[in-house]
Amino acid sequence: MSSAVAIPVAAASREPLAARLAHDVLEVSLDRLPAEVVEKTCVCLMDLIGCAFESKDLPWSRQARAMTDRNDAGATVIGGSQRVGVGEAAFVNAVMGHGLVREDMHAGSISHLGIVVLPTLMALAQTRRVSGRDFIAAVVAGYEVGGCIGRAVMDAQVARIHRPTGVTGPLAAAAAGARLLGLDAAAATSALSIAANTILGFNQWAHTGGSEMFFHPGFVARNAVSAVRLAQAGAYASPTALEGEAGMFAALGKRANAAQVELFRGMPELLSVYHKPVPACNFAQTPSQAALEIARSARLAPERIAAIRIRVPRAGKLYPGCDHPGPFATALQGKMSIQFNVAAALLTGTVAESNFDLLDDARVQRLIGLATLEVDEPMTAAYPQRQGGEVEVLDSAGALHRTRLPDVVNASFDDVRARFRAAVAAALGDRRAAAIGQAIEDLDRSEDAGAMVTPLGA
């Protein structure tokens, strides 16, 4: 199969961007997409659902569920015992999918698209019967819009203030919802334009460890459901809400970049998404893996470590919360800190969730005190196509241990499947976990995508 995607692109240069995106989104068909998108969608669904089950008892997950109202005609909350409103289900499932900070990552947009696109589609798929093929096509459409918009507007400076997923996510999720429900071009245009008006999320949480980060994708998914359903009901929104003089691109100081947004210029953006092996910030992934390799190969006793040097792309050092040596008031601050994640990996020889029980550990604090975090220019030039990381450890005998990784190591489908099955089985039992996993893997043959979602309730 060709690596290019043969999907028509609206050619009228003066057509508003939201209308061009709507046209291309509605043309997305599984028949015209690479076969790999089916498996990738399965991996993304398993990753989201597994994270949601693992995080369902964390404070932010409980708080999100506490604000919902019972609605027998509504939608399923993952691990929940009752149905709630469609928007509320999207909200809660998005919060829980983000709860471990181990969600999928699209580096080019600095965004976590799965935690907004998938909860939106899972909720909407329970409002009407849609096929699994249409569900997958909608997933592809959502990731494509989010990825392309993010490449055009997000950079290290914008991301210092604005939460990338809060910027890209509303458009991604609304595009996906419009494709799933088969809106006409005018309604899909309005859905995207309404969604643009819900862009939100500031990165101040990274400076304090505030939990609003976990609620950002919930707001996005709920707002996307509202945008799609408003457009479906006939609401009209400005077609130039994206590139207009008072639109989204202008608000971000990127108005000139709107003209460069074009979907499906190559392989679908979905296929460039990676799945985190480490339950921490995207920019902590590669240096954590480099530190882990040193811990396993050198087998250094922590007390023998004399100095640590960490090198990352400029975007990693600049992203809020990543260059933070402590103190750590919350586990989230530890998950964001590159220094903490490297030190904990060197100390424990793991990159597990249990590392974040060591925020006040004197051994970790000592290692962080020995660490310097530097920008690596070759890595910066290669980013976001590749996200490198390097760790050097000098021991007390003067020996230097160095690992340089050119790119993040992706969690494989087998890795994601294994942790998905373990998390679902712990909540629902082995038999139901196996059945849910099989339903996900058979999604492209299903006549009712909502039937895959319903069994996720407790």
CB 319 within 8 A of CB 207: no
At 73 the pLDDT is 83
Summarised one tens digit per residue, pLDDT across range 74-110 is 999 999 988 999 999 999 999 999 999 999 999 999 9
Question: Is 438 buried (19+), middle (13-18) or exposed (0-12) by CB count in 10 A?
Answer: exposed
User: What is the value of pTM for the model shown?
Assistant: 0.94
The residues pairing with 305 across neighbouring beta strands, listed in sequence order, are: 395
CB 406 within 8 A of CB 289: no
With a cut of 90, say whether residue 285 has pLDDT above it.
Answer: yes
Question: Is 210 buried (19+), middle (13-18) or exposed (0-12) by CB count in 10 A?
Answer: middle
With a cut of 90, say whether residue 119 has pLDDT above it.
Answer: yes
Indicate the domain borders of the chain.
17-272, 282-405
Summarised one tens digit per residue, pLDDT across range 353-364 is 999 999 999 999
Q: Is 127 helix (H, G, I), strand (E, B) or coil?
A: coil
Work out the pLDDT band at 71, boundaries 50, 70, 90: confident
Q: Which of 52, 126, 62, 63 is nearest to 93 (CA)?
A: 52
CB 181 within 8 A of CB 137: no
Contacts of 351 (CB under 8 A, 6+ apart): 277, 278, 279, 280, 288, 289, 292, 341, 344, 345
Work out the pLDDT band at 22, boundaries 50, 70, 90: very high
Contacts of 131 (CB under 8 A, 6+ apart): 446, 447, 448, 449
Fold adopted by 282-405: 60s Ribosomal Protein L30; Chain: A; (3.30.1330)
Contacts of 278 (CB under 8 A, 6+ apart): 102, 284, 285, 288, 289, 341, 351
> Average pLDDT of 280-304?
95
Q: Is 106 helix (H, G, I), strand (E, B) or coil?
A: strand
Domain range 17-272, CATH architecture = Orthogonal Bundle (1.10)
Summarised one tens digit per residue, pLDDT across range 177-195 is 999 999 999 999 999 999 9
Work out the pLDDT band at 14, boundaries 50, 70, 90: confident
To which residue do tokens 């530890």 refer?
334
